[in-house]
Structure 1
């Protein structure tokens, strides 16, 4: 899969689209989002970071474009620069990107990470619920995104940040991203009137609505403008369950 990444990097640096950062947000209450994981990996010997979230004691979800070598995970973190007692550092046994992931359009931008051992669940480390098949969010629904991604000044915070976003109509992202946007596997969120968005480093984190993971931070314009695109999780429920069952210990 290494041949995919030069193309991916070109796309992310183009005027059209760029992966995940939090703009216009605020610092989250420490450990109020116990499902969040800090993900580090390498692409062509360059360190990169993403978000991920725990959906089973030994599995996390993230974006497929967060795939690389030397993947490491930190659970239970608030300040990723401090050796907090709540942190659990567990090695990744295998990364499983969706087999139909397209690194040029970001379609099927979803990946499972299986841990070498199960995480210990507690107040700082816990699971995030996945949607049911019948769930379909209406435009205007308020949801949140969290991550350690940088702000509009390109500064990366040490502590977890969060922001509230609105679900948008599909045609708003279709008009903005044209051939890249797929309303079946992607969803649109943000508010063009507000300077609030996910941005670089937040990719792979969850779009949470009523304590349920409905989307995964995927891509958007590199100027941080809204709306932005999120992988629609309920479209992949059967793949998620089938894949986790196939890799049980």
Structure 2
């Protein structure tokens, strides 16, 4: 059954609403083993998001990726091939932030509880979250990654793409995006340089100095920079408490089940 689902997902690849990394390059295969490729149905359209494996049974992504029929691919590089490293896992439960608002893109963050544990190996690894707040200053060079179009009107990439983006002053986003809130957003992307993430990359990582600082949200429809990313630090307590609650609930239902979760 799992193989049939995998083949179906691949057959729908070029019918999907694509994600997008603009101005980037192909990542070294499995150099980001925490990356998750998320496929789900939106109305009658099969579409995609990115995600980050933060626990053997939990993936972090954007809340606007909330839809039924969600499948997570771990250990993937080329999503058009049945790579031996790939693990296909169904989603058991979707947990969007309780204050998520689709209208203004606030609290655009969600946890996906997987039906079974990910098998950790060289191609599949947990990205540990840093406790406490860390400040990212304007001028910092950060990276985003995802699968999707190589340009706004271009083809869909088969392989994981990555691109560097420069953190901007909050005012740069406030002047262009009225929904921007410095308390929960990070502003990034030099408007003079064509480097960006775009729709479909939502839920993917925004990493600065090897630390996950934010996730990609829905962004601006034009795809222009600078743009806002959902800052991670305001949600660390919610993430930790939600995971602990669900693991405890699961343990009570199946006392022999053991889980592992660690914070850096």
Does TM, scored on the shorter chain, surpass 0.5?
Answer: yes
Q: CA deviation at 1:97?
A: 0.3
Counterpart-to-counterpart distance in 2, 1:33 and 1:171: 31
Within 5 A, what are the aligned runs for 1:95-110?
95-110=94-109
Q: SS at the partner of 1:247?
A: helix
Counterpart-to-counterpart distance in 1, 2:168 and 2:234: 18
Aligned to 2:181: 182
Aligned to 1:153: 153
Q: CA deviation at 1:187?
A: 1.1
Runs of 5+ consecutive residues of structure 2 not aligned to the other structure: 1-17, 251-264
Aligned to 1:197: 196
Counterpart-to-counterpart distance in 1, 2:196 and 2:183: 22
Aligned to 1:213: 212
Aligned to 1:125: 124
Counterpart-to-counterpart distance in 2, 1:21 and 1:217: 11
Q: SS at the partner of 1:243?
A: helix
Q: SS at the partner of 1:69?
A: coil
Change (3 A) 1:235 1:94: same
Asked if the contact 2:19–2:147 (Cα under 8 Å) also holds between the matched residues in 1, the reply is no
Are 1:55 and 2:74 counterparts? no
Counterpart-to-counterpart distance in 1, 2:80 and 2:148: 14
Counterpart-to-counterpart distance in 1, 2:217 and 2:107: 10
Tell me which of the two structures has the higher relative contact order, counting C-alpha pairs closer than 8 angstroms and 6 or more residues apart: 1
Asked if the contact 2:37–2:50 (Cα under 8 Å) also holds between the matched residues in 1, the reply is yes
Are 1:224 and 2:223 counterparts? yes
Counterpart-to-counterpart distance in 2, 1:131 and 1:171: 27
Q: CA deviation at 1:84?
A: 0.2
Mark the structure with the bigger radius of gyration: 2
Q: CA deviation at 1:163?
A: 0.2
Aligned to 1:10: none
Moved >3 Å (runs of 4+): none
Asked if the contact 1:130–1:214 (Cα under 8 Å) also holds between the matched residues in 2, the reply is no
Deviations 1:210-233 (A, max 9, x none): 222111101333232111111000
Aligned to 1:165: 165
RMSD: 1.3
Aligned to 1:136: 135
Instruction: Name whichever of 238-247 and 37-46 sits farther off.
Output: 37-46
Counterpart-to-counterpart distance in 2, 1:134 and 1:44: 38
Q: CA deviation at 1:20?
A: 6.2
Runs of 5+ consecutive residues of structure 1 not aligned to the other structure: 1-18
Aligned to 1:8: none
TM-score by length of 1: 0.89
